[in-house]
Each structure stands twice: as structure tokens, then as C-alpha cells.
Amino acid sequence: MNSKITKLFILFLTIQFVAIQSAFSQEITISGKVIDGSGIPFTGVNVIVKGTNTGTLTDFDGNYSIKSSKGQVLVFSYLGMKTEEVEVAKSSIINVSLYEDAQVLNEVVVTAMGIERADRTLGYGVSTVKSEDFEVAAETDVVQALQGKISGVNITGQGGGIGASSKITIRGVTRISGSNSPLWVIDGVPISDANDFTSSRTTGSVDYGNRAQDINPDDIESLTVLKGASAAALYGSRASNGVIIVTTKRGKEKGSLTYSSTIRFDSPLRLPDFQNTYGPGTQGAYSEIDGDNLQDVSPGWGPLISEGGSYTDYAGNLQTFESHPDLQKDFYALGITKVNNFSVSGLSNKGSSNYRLSTSYSSKEGIIPGSELNRLNIALKSGTKLFDNLKSDFSLNYINSDVEGAVAQGGNDPNVLMGIVNRLPRITDVNVFKPWKAESNDEQLAAVDSDGTNNPYWIIHENQRTSSTERFFGNISLDYNPLKKLSLLGRVGYDTYNTTHFSNKHKGTIGLLDGNYTENHISRNELTLDLLSTYDDTFGDIDFTARGGVQWNQRVFSSIGNQGVGLTIPELFDPGNVDTNIPWKNYSKRRILGVFGDLTFTYKKWLTLNATARNDWSSTLPQGGNSYFYPSIALSFVFTDAFNVDSDILSYGKIRGNWANVGSDTGAYQLDFLYSPQSSFFGQFNTGGTFPFDGQLAFSGPNTLPNVNLRPENQANYELGVELGFFKNRFNIDATFYKNVTTDQIIALLVPSSTGYSTSMTNLGQISNTGFELEVSAKIIRYKGFRWNLNYNFSTNETIIDELGEGIDKYTMASAFNGLVVGAEEGESIGIYGNRFARAVDDSGNTIEDMILVNESGVRYEGDNERLGNIFPDFTMGLTSVFSYKGWSLSTTFDWKEGGVLYSQTVSSLRTSGLAAETAVDRETLFVDSEAFMDNGDGTYSENTIPISSVQEYWSSYSANRIHESNTFDATYIKWRELGLSYSFNKKQLKSLPFSSLRLGVQGRNLAIFNTSIPHIDPETNLFGSGSNGGAIEYNGVPSTRSVGFNVQVKF
């Protein structure tokens, strides 16, 4: 019996083996080449066996190889090209030519609410950055990675501080009060890009960054910028400043593993140009710098260093006079950034499901010693076709980031590091500040100034500034098709993060000897519910789409913190270890309910009319006045199709235009009296106490008078554009003209103190933005394996304050120091206002601009507080050039900002202290300011002949921080933004390796600055972060960095 069973079992195995062999014998290897209509090899074409998960991509020579069986169908596809299907017959070689698809010309664009639309049907301008654009320089900050790549977008950074924020505005400023930042949307769900600054930006602020930094660029499939109100109208009032839509990667092909690693080295891009000839002192005479009298000594107005001698340094040691030209370079560390990305993705169930799981870990050591940022990203995205008419999508992102050593900037705070480092005498060896603390009693050693300036290493190592953030965001959606032409989409999106900011001044810190600490716990939560229905139909030559939906959004913010003053035990930062606690708690909740509709009619694929409407109800506006309606209409006309244009020159032509009206609300709790609990009080003769007092609690009222009659802001947008393609779309132009007018600005207006309030919320004013944008793409060379592509963008925007309201001459948007402000004035663009040099006046009392006056000492002096210039550039340009030859690719990007102004307090400090290189000129001689004039006292003026007693007196007056004009410069610059060189190995080279692809590369970022008149600093540096409407002012900022690195990417 057992023998029979054994024989049957062997027979069964034999039959199975033969069947398997037979099946495999039918599978053959198909190879070939894919070319375009010009006969040029086509790289990156998708080749799949229809109905299976088997697929591949063509290499740099257009070659492919894939296993298939006779009778199966190979599908060749590429975006913008006609898809070709070829049945496998006897031949093992299949060559294919792909041609442009006139009906799918240009790409599909992700628009508002995650709706995908063909670019040719859009009646408004959008700009898209692809995943490969983020790979060139491997920038970890997604906002900074956009520099120079998109027209109409203005980006400013905070310099080279670790984790510093980046501010982005689209088509100018639409509000003189409130946020001008765009809405960020990831996979259809809004997320927060909040910036939680601490303290005042001008008296020692710490920038912990904006939350868009949490996005991992390696997860991005595409980033689309919706610039106009019509493009973003379906997102409602939150989209009035534009929308940035991020679509993340998903599984597209048979299972694959991808790993990439980047290491990058950072160093200061531009350091001040110091003089190294003169030492500390005044009027050429030496003054001792022993750590006790720095405020009475100018670091650079002493005698020649070459005269020799000895001095007592900050640590009390006797030193020989010697120049240290590398003082600042020796202070900065070599920044190192390491990024490791890993992902697994693929398709399953015959393509009905897709998945992608990725993880990324980035660590960055900043150029400030001890500063560090570490970030972990984990992302999961999947989609499943549950039934023929039901599919689901899911995404979840987890981020954990930690910042150590965030640097304070501004002034008046002993922790402002750059203000110390940039004012050290040139005879200083930076190593004199080590060690910075006594081992026995924690006393600070080698203080720069015992009256108020700490040892820089004490600040770095003892006075901590840290931030820790944990964040989740994601969404889940169901897409149901009850009918062939009808779909219903339900989506839930959630974004939540908790951040803890901590800073302290160690006991013994000069300026606060007893020490203190501040701890702030911030929480933001955002829940969005979407319901969207879509109906598609065709009536003859007309394609019709109707959409309707509802969106509900809730945002909750809380901040709980404490400042402890007067430490009992050093390094124990606890409420029970301080003399005084100052706790606080802030909380807000706001909701928006929106109902919207969208109608699209397309006639013969060349004429598209799109109309949208949305109505929002906001919880932050008064009942009965919290509803606001805004419509939009857009038209797209592809005239080359309408008129059957058949030309070797003009391949594609489209005219588009749109109009939209958008409303926006205000912040939470602007309608009612909001009282805050108080923990302490002060009385006469230095008396005071804490609450509860005698069993009673205390609360303080608001400084702003609520207004129960607030109306929503209103923005009207007009846009006209043309898109042209030439020479079979190898040369493409996209030009746009637009005008935005925002009325009923919601601002806090100053009111008389007799009211008991400082300001009152009100509606007034009108601001307009008019601009022009141009984007050009060109495939210049297509010859055999060599390709050269160019992408160029240009944009100009003029922001004008049309109205401010009766009796209001100027509105201050952000304050700085000594009368320097960022302000809005009727009839002008937003600008800097500060003190100018005194000037002559004519008989009518008009200022004579070319006649600057001097006083009896022959130096210029302070005049009126007036406008110094526009904070925004006249125009911006970006140019990206990509050369490729077979596996080699060379990409470089330049961007140019022309015009605008920048005020630099750093330049003022360097010049008045005698440390700037220009202050070393003519020190030994008297000279006359020949470009100035003398007031003769009788209404006439004459050329200046008064000699200045010393160069020190000249620079101390000329660049004094109370005279802002001399420290305000034309902000023009050109920056070499990116450079990337990479080599991708072909399949033959990888034949003996376990990789399906391998790419090696070198990258550079912020490599050089050209064409700038601003001395000593990077003109891109900005004091104000992404949470402020201020700009064009620099004050003790950390130098921006130049980065050079290496990258490897492998796929399995």
C-alpha cells in the first residue's frame, strides 16, 4: 500500500514539474529600444506586461528588457505621450516609437481639494516642482529647496542658524496685519506651518523654525503652487494667500527597495571683511581689555597692532600684541548634515493595491558649536481597490525632531551670540574663552564684559535653547462610484503636534546673575472633514463635470508655560527651585464650515469654462455676519486646436483668464473680552506680591478693544495668461498678468489711552498687488545621447497701499529700534521707515535730496524719519540648466533678486566699532567729507570744507544706529543656488551587482553671491521669521552657509 502511494506521489511530482517547466518554457525575454518622434532614445518610459505587476523602465539609451509570454501585451507609457500597446508574438525584439498626445498635452495637475485636472483645461496659472528637482542638492528644508524654481514666489530665510525658519509669500502681501503665508496641503489635507517665535525679534529672539520643515523632501512626488484666488477658491478663506499642494509618493511598480544617503559639509558663505591692522582703544590710543571695561573701549579704534606691546586678555593672562585674522573662522565649526532615506514600495493584487513605507533620519550639526538638529520621518501611504466601485486611500506621517543650540539674534540680550563674536578686537585669540566655567564653583570665566557681555562659549554650553517636537498628520478616504458617472469621496484629515521650547540663563550669567529658565509646551491640532461628489458626463462635443462638497475644519491651539526667575540650585530648572514663577496658559479653538460647488464645461477639448462658488461660516466673526460667499470663473481656450493650426513653428497655444472673489476671517477671540490669569503684582515703593492674594485670584483684561461688527476681508483677483509651445513643444512659454485688490483689512488700530485700551480691531484700508510672471522651458539640444534643458522664470510684483483710512498716515507692521519700522503708507509700497541724514531745503521748504548737511564738526547728522525704500524686490529671476549625457547629469540653478532695500545693524556695529575693513582707510590723516554741504545759516549752502578730526568720529556718526540711511543698502544680489553632478549606472554595468539602479552624485548649495552692494553679510539674511510681516532688516544674524556634499542612491 505504501509502495503504491509512493509511486503515485512521485508521478504527481513529475507531472507538476513538467507543467512548471512547460509554463516557464513559454516565457521569453523581450528586449528593444524606445525612441521619440525625432528618433532620439527615450529614457524613463514605463514598460509593463498588461494585467500583471511585471514592469521596467527604459535606460538612458532607451533600451529595456522584460520577461513575457506569447500572446501577452506590453504597454509603453510616458506622461504627455500616446500610450502604445504591442502584443508579444514570435520575435523577442520589440522596438517602439512614442509620439506626443495632443489630447494629453502638458501634464495632469493636482488642484484644489486634490482634484486632478489636465493642464490644458486650467484657466489659471500654476507651477509644479517634481521629485527629481528636490534631489539635485538634497536640501532638507522643502521651502528653501524652492528658491529660484517658481515665478511669483518670494522666499526669505533666517540665515544659518540651526533649524531657522523660512518665510514664503506668493504674489506679494495681501494683508498689512495678519498672516500672509500660504496654506499647505498634503495629499488633500491642510496642515500647519506655524512658527512659534520666542521673545521679541529685536531684543533677543530665538527662532525654532516653521513646521513646513517637518516635510521630508524625499517623500514628495510633486509640489504644486496655486497662486491666484481662482486656483485656490475651493479651499476657502484660508487660501487667500495661495496654496502649496504636496502630493507624496505612492507605490507604482513591482515591489522595490530604495536607499539613499547624503553627507554634506557646511561653512559660512560670507563673513564680514575685517580690518586686521588696528587694535582696541579710542582715537588711536590703546585701552586695556581685561574683561571689565569693554563698554568703554572700541574694539578697533586703537593703535597699530604692528607697534607691538603686551596686554591683559579676557582671562587675565598677559598676551603679546598680535593680529588674529581668522578669529571668526576659528570660532565657527564645520557643519555636517547626514541624511539617510529608506523606502519600500510596490503594487499587489494585480495592481489593485499600492503601498509605500518610508523612513528618513537626518542629523545636522550647525556652524555654531554645539548646535544640532535631529529629525526622524516615518511615512506610510497605501491605496486599495476594495471592490470595482469602491477604493480607499490611507496615509500617515510621523515626525520627531529635536533642536539644540538655537541661536538668539537681535539685541539687548546677553545671549545674542553674533553681537559678541563680531565685536571682538582683532588681537583676540578665540581660545582665550576656553574654559568658560570654573570647575569649583560654576563661576563664569573670561567674560567679555563684566557689566553685560558673556563669554561666547558660556552662552553656547551653559545657556540652553532647545526644542522638541512630536507630530502626526495623515488622512483616510473612501472613493465610491454608485454609478458609472458619479463618484462620492469622503475624507478625514488630521494634523497634531506637541512642541516643547526650553531656554535658560545659567546661574552666573552676566545680565541675570541669579539665572532663570523658560519652558513652553505648545500643542496644535487640526481636524478636517471633506465630502465631495463628482458627476462626469458627455453631451455631444461637450464634456461636463459637476462637483459639490462640504468641508468642516477645526483648529485648536494651547500653550502652557512657566518662567522661573532666581535659581537656588544651579542647573535645577524646576518651579520649586526658583524665587519667582510666572506661569501662563493660552488656549483657542476655531471652526470653519464651508459648502462649495464646481462646474466645468469643455467643448471639443479646446474650450473650457470653469465656475466655482463657496460659502464659509467662521466662528471668529460675529454671529449674523460670519457668513461670506465667494465665486470664481475661469476660461481656457486652446486656439491651436480650435483653428486647426498646423505649423512647424507653433505647436500649442492657449489663452486663459479668470476672476475670483475670496473672503477671509480673523483670529480667534477678537470679538469678546479675553481675560488672562495673573500670578504677581507690583505696588509702590518696590512692594509687590503674588496671587492668590488674601484668597483672591486676579485676571488682566485685553489691550485690544473687541469689535462685534467686524466684517470678513475681501480679495478680488483678476488674471490673464497665455501658454505657447514652439517647435514640437521643445520651447514653451507661460506668461501671466494679474491684479489682486484686498479691501476691509482687519487690523488693530491705535486708540487714545483714555479708552483704557491700546488698540481696537477694525475694518479699513485697501491693498493692491499687480504683477507679471513668465516661465520658459526649452529643450535646447536633443542629439544622440546628449540633452540640454533650460528652465527660466521671471516675476515682478508691485504692492501698493491704496487706502489706510481717514486720519491714518502710516501703519506700523513691525517695529525694530531707534525709530526704524516696517510700515505701510497710503500710495506707497510696504517699506522701511527710519532716520535719514539731514538735508538742505529750498525756499519752498522742499528737501533737496542731493545736498546732505554736516554739522560744525564736519560730520553728517540725523535728519527726519522718512521712507528708506521698498522691502520687496523689483523683480526676481531663476535659471536652471540641466545637461545630460547617457548616465551623466549636470544641473545648476541661479536666482536673481533685483531692487528693494535691506537695513543691516551688523554693518552699523562693525563700522562704528572700527572693525570693518573700510574703517582702516586714511586713519592717519584728516579728511573732508567732500560729498556733503554746510548750512550757511542764511538759507544758502556751500560745499563742505570742514575737516573731520578723526576717522573714528566720521564712522561713529556716519554709521550710527540712530541714522538708518547709512546702513540701508540696495538689496540686489545674484546667488549660485545649486549645483549637482550625478552618474547613473546602466543595466549592463549593474549586471553583476544586486542593484536594479545605482546613482552617485556630488552636490553644492548656496555656492556664491554676485552683484551685491551690501558689505559684510549675505543680503538674504532676515531678522523676521515666517510668523511676522516684517522684513528687510538684519540684526546679528547667524551667517548663511555654503554646502558641499555627496550622495548615493540604490534600488533593489
Residue segments in the chain with a per-residue pLDDT below the cut of 50: 1-2, 5, 8-9, 11-25, 104-105, 199, 201, 291-295
* Residue 421 is assigned to a structural domain of this protein: no
Interior/surface letters 876-902, b for 16+ CB within 10 angstroms, e for the rest: bbbbbbbbbebbebebbbbbbbbebbb
d(Cα 219, Cα 246) in Å, to the nearest integer?
Answer: 10
* Residue 315 is assigned to a structural domain of this protein: no
Quick one: angle between helices 905-912 and 951-958, nearest 10? Answer: 160
Q: What is the pLDDT, as a whole number, of residue 102?
A: 54
- 3-state secondary structure at position 54: coil
* Residue 202 is assigned to a structural domain of this protein: yes
**What pTM value is reported for the model?**
0.87
The answer on 91 and 165 residing in a single domain is: no
The pair phi, psi for residue 660, each rounded to 5°, is -150, 155
- CATH code at 85? 2.60.40.1120
d(Cα 309, Cα 294) in Å, to the nearest integer?
Answer: 19
d(Cα 880, Cα 882) in Å, to the nearest integer?
Answer: 7
**The three cell numbers locating residue 747:** 487690523
HSE (side-chain half, CA atoms, 13 Å) at 572: 9
Sheet holding 746-750, edge to edge: 704-705, 759-763, 746-750
Contact between 546 and 574 (Cβ < 8 Å):
no
**The three cell numbers locating residue 203:** 531684543
The answer on 558 and 632 residing in a single domain is: yes
**The three cell numbers locating residue 874:** 523689483
Q: What is the pLDDT, as a whole number, of residue 669?
A: 81
- Of 684, 704, 694, residue with least CA distance to 757: 704
The pair phi, psi for residue 928, each rounded to 5°, is -115, 135
Give 1048's strand partners: 261, 1000
Q: What is the pLDDT, as a whole number, of residue 7?
A: 53
The 3-class secondary structure across 335-358, one letter per residue, is EEEEEEEEEEEEEECCCCEEEEEE
Contact between 298 and 365 (Cβ < 8 Å):
no
The helices-and-strands tally (H runs, E runs) of the chain is: 9, 64
Range of the domain at 810: 126-268+336-415+463-675+697-830+871-900+973-1051
Q: What is the pLDDT, as a whole number, of residue 862?
A: 95
* Residue 447 is assigned to a structural domain of this protein: no
Q: What is the pLDDT, as a whole number, of residue 198?
A: 52
The answer on 257 and 161 residing in a single domain is: yes
Q: What is the pLDDT, as a whole number, of residue 760?
A: 86
Residue that is written with C-alpha cell 525709530 in the block: 819
Using the Cα atoms of residue 104, residue 251, residue 142 and residue 528 in order, give the sign of their dihedral.
positive
The answer on 1041 and 993 residing in a single domain is: yes
d(Cα 131, Cα 137) in Å, to the nearest integer?
Answer: 12
Q: For the chain, what is the domain count?
A: 2
Q: What is the pLDDT, as a whole number, of residue 1021?
A: 86
Report the amino acid identity of residue 17: F
Would strands 888-898 and 973-984 be described as parallel, antiparallel, or unpaired? antiparallel
The answer on 142 and 80 residing in a single domain is: no
* Residue 319 is assigned to a structural domain of this protein: no
d(Cα 191, Cα 496) in Å, to the nearest integer?
Answer: 9
* Residue 960 is assigned to a structural domain of this protein: no
* Residue 37 is assigned to a structural domain of this protein: yes
Q: What is the pLDDT, as a whole number, of residue 776?
A: 97
The answer on 653 and 744 residing in a single domain is: yes
List C-alpha distances in Å: 11 to 18, 492, 738: 11, 57, 79
- CATH code at 1023? 2.40.170.20
The answer on 201 and 93 residing in a single domain is: no
Report the amino acid identity of residue 1021: T
Instruction: Supply angle C-alpha 381, 386, 389, rounded to 5.
Output: 115
Q: How many CB atoms lie within 10 A of CB 411?
A: 20
> Over the stretch 436-453, which tens digit does the pLDDT of each residue have?
998 877 788 888 876 678
> Over the stretch 429-439, which tens digit does the pLDDT of each residue have?
999 999 999 88
The answer on 208 and 92 residing in a single domain is: no
Q: What is the pLDDT, as a whole number, of residue 11?
A: 47
Report the amino acid identity of residue 571: E
The answer on 65 and 157 residing in a single domain is: no
The answer on 806 and 877 residing in a single domain is: yes
The answer on 481 and 377 residing in a single domain is: yes
Of 99, 117, 134, the domain-final residue? 99
* Residue 945 is assigned to a structural domain of this protein: no
The answer on 130 and 89 residing in a single domain is: no
